[in-house]
Chains A and B, each alone.
Chain A
Amino acid sequence: MRSSLQINIKAKWLWSCCAALVLGIVITCCSISVFTVNQPDTAVVGSTVPISVNFTYHNITGGNTENLVFGFLVPKGWATAQNAKITYNSSVGNGKMVLMPANTTEPQSNGLSWSAALLKKFGIGGNLVNDMEWVVYQSDVGFPLSNGEEITATLNISLKVGADNNNTMCKLGYVIAESHDGLHEVDSYIDNGAKYEYYAEQITPCFMLTGGSGDVVDFCNPQLTNVDPPKSLDNDFVTLSFDGTVTKTALPSSSAVYLCATANTNDGKTYTVCDQSVKTQFTQTAAGSNKYKITIWPRSYFGISDLQTIVNMNYYVTDATGNIKVGYGNTAAPFTYTFKCN
């Protein structure tokens, strides 16, 4: 009898622990559904674009005060942190979205900031030029949520686009989460017959920005040439890539190709380097790949003086004779690149 009693006490303790554990797991759960984004397909550089994001947030149990978190994938050149205003209307209250402090860590990412965690998890959303950033916001206040509460919310984004004045094609990204669970992976928890999701992500189709006087930057489609870093000055090392597999050009496949470039300086002078030599030859990244790279230090490459700076560069990719030239979009127009940081 005594022995049996002891077993009962242990069992009670064990059951209590299990119940607390289960409760602990359930308390941290929430779910986001009905996630829609309404954004225009095109806009003009400098205009203010209205975007709305609608979603339903299903909370399983109460106990936590949570802030809504919104991650926005945008080109760095748009300076979105300075040029976007976001408000929210929801069934639990209305308010403003404020920038997430840079030192606030995402709860599931081992000390990474929210912005870094989103970049690690979602990359740059299928964009092809690595000049995108995740700008992260949270609701100005947290909300104590009750068990089973379903919240409908709309984010109203007012975004002045194209601060860099570039004509841009890019895929914008949207992530909805909450501050408590963050980017929690789907686990074994089932809600309404489906795996429980802790956050929601959406990458929209290619958005086109026109009317700018800067370069055309196409994040969506593979390009014949790319420049790395996307933003640089003439005192950076600049790597130009040529991808002959994007489309059939007049250049023979996987043969030697050369850079034919003209630099325009701040004093109105032009410097052209268009010989077919070791200096101008691209290196094929792998034998037969028809993909090439060349890295130059523009100040030295064009031989400008210490008092000059290069404003922009026009260039072609040529064959060994220099007679076959491939330009922007496989046309006779040159590729262009402007040296700037923003």
Chain B
Amino acid sequence: MKDFYKFRKPVYLLVILTVLAGSSCKIESLRPANEATKDISGNWAVVAATRNGTDLTSIVDFSQFKLTFSEGKYTLVNKLPFLVSQNGTYSLDDPQYPFQISFTPAGSKAVATAFTYPIVNGVRQLTLTFSPGCPNNIYIYTFRKVN
């Protein structure tokens, strides 16, 4: 009898553990998180800029140049070489997962470019790649929101 208990004890324990382990697994209901609409409205200033990989930030004064988005319109303040040179309207290809931004200067055709919208050190940035002059000259501006 003693031997019987010796034998049965681990078995009982194993059964109980199996039941507990089984009952602990539950299929979570997988619902995709509702991604927020990307709101880029506000004033943006250049914090980094390159031309064909060469850093321009320290050799060009970008401090006065601002890009403002508001209610579907954009405004260039103290212009510098950019994707467009006139004010107009803008749109994102997807408000939740945008990969492209389109600028339509007043009276001109839309110009689209890829953009990224990462959070760097807790601050949202906007990075645009474009060629304001020769197509082989590639510029990358990184903007940060300012007041």
Contacts and interface: CB of A to CB of B under 8 A. Distances in A.
Do they bind each other?
yes
Contact of A341 (B132, B135, B139): B135
Nearest to B132: A235
A229 B134 contact: yes
A149 interface: no
A232 B133 contact: yes
Interface stretch (B11-19, B24-32, B51-59, B116-124): B51-59
Contacts of B56: 237, 295
Given A235-B85, A236-B132, A237-B51, A295 B137 contact: no
A297 interface: yes
B42 interface: no
Interface string B36-69: 0000000000000001101010011000000000
A236 B60 contact: no
Contact of B134 (A231, A283, A295, A306): A231
Interface residues of A, number: 17
A262 B59 CA distance: 22
Interface in A222-247: 228-229, 231-237, 239
B81 interface: yes
Interface in A268-302: 283, 293, 295, 297, 300
B59 A293 contact: yes
Contacts of B80: 297, 300
B147 interface: no
Contacts of A306: 85
B136 interface: yes
A53 B9 CA distance: 88
B51 to A, nearest CB: 6
Nearest to A340: B134
A232 B137 CA distance: 7
Contacts of A232: 133-134, 137
A295 B136 contact: no
B26 to A, nearest CB: 44
Nearest to B80: A297
Count chain B CB atoms within 10 A of each CB in A229, A232, A237, A341 and give the residue with the most.
Answer: A237
B133 A233 contact: yes
A293 B59 CA distance: 9
Contacts of B132: 235-236
B59 A236 contact: no
Contacts of A293: 59
A236 B85 contact: no
A229 B60 contact: no
Nearest to B138: A229
Nearest to A299: B81
Contact of B137 (A234, A236, A297, A300): A236
A229 B59 contact: no
Contact of B81 (A228, A236, A239, A283): A236
Interface in A139-182: none
Interface string A1-45: 000000000000000000000000000000000000000000000
A132 to B, nearest CB: 13
Contacts of A231: 134, 136-137
Interface in A328-342: 341
Contact of A229 (B52, B79, B81, B85): B52
Contact of B51 (A229, A233, A235, A300): A229
28 contacts: A229-B52, A229-B134, A229-B136, A231-B134, A232-B137, A233-B134, A234-B133, A235-B81, A235-B85, A235-B132, A236-B133, A236-B134, A236-B137, A237-B51, A237-B60, A237-B81, A237-B139, A239-B54, A293-B59, A295-B56, A295-B60, A297-B60, A297-B80, A300-B80, A306-B85, A341-B133, A341-B134, A341-B135
Interface of A: 228-229, 231-237, 239, 283, 293, 295, 297, 300, 306, 341
Interface of B: 51-52, 54, 56, 59-60, 79-81, 85, 132-137, 139
Given A232-B134, A236-B132, 6 more contacts: A229-B136, A232-B133, A234-B133, A237-B60, A283-B59, A297-B60
Listed from nearest, the 5 A-B pairs whose CB atoms lie closest are A236-B133, A233-B133, A341-B134, A235-B133, A235-B132
